[in-house]
Structure 1
Amino acid sequence: MGYRIIKRAFDIVFSLVVIAVLLVPSLLLCLAIRLESPGCPIYSQKRVGRIGRNGEVETFEMYKFRSMHADADECLANLQEFNEADGPLFKIKDDPRVTRIGRFIRKHSIDELPQFVNCFL
């Protein structure tokens, strides 16, 4: 129990520091994403979390910088025949839905930085 409290305190403090340090660069990146492709620069998706106290699976909103055009989810059906992965995963080597900025932020995993908000919450 003590470990969980200390770990949660560390997660909150560390994520708060990262969010504060990266606030201005993140705002500039949001502006760049918005200029290249209209729409919200932050993409959110429901993900499965852990099993709650009541035994049910809890979900949470996962946040990322948007690396695709705003209508990427709607275009997915038209690209299904090019899928290179099995199962529920969808993967195309040169996905036409990815923006120029999106390629860069994916390559350097910058698109994942808003997940510190998930740690903070």
Structure 2
Amino acid sequence: MTDDDLRATMMNLSACTLPTEDRPTRLGEFEDFFARSVDAVARPLPTRLELRLRAGGDAEVVGRDLAARESACCSFFTFSFTPSAAGLVMGIEVPAAHLDVLDALDGRARAAIEGADR
């Protein structure tokens, strides 16, 4: 899946009630969050994405804010925040019918982290 494919998936999501004109801004917020606040990405299940948040700073506050706003417009998402030995993990789960959305977020998170490491 190319970067354009990932963006198209996120922009054309019919199960989301966020107005179409606001979606690029929201996607940009997630990409900024991934680059500034996420240390690692894991996919323990096809329907679950885990983001290990950076310690200190505002990673948890920003993550919780994004999760709350995204849950309000895309009710198929389930977000969780779980402490682990490696740090706080933000979990994002979707039903199997929305794997393409989780795949897109996974790709965007990995790309943002790789770009932030350069």
TM-score range, shorter chain: 0.3 to 0.5
Q: Compare the two structures and name the one with the higher strand fraction.
A: 2
**TM-score normalized by the length of structure 1:** 0.35
Decide which structure has the larger Cα Rg and report it: 1
**TM-score normalized by the length of structure 2:** 0.35
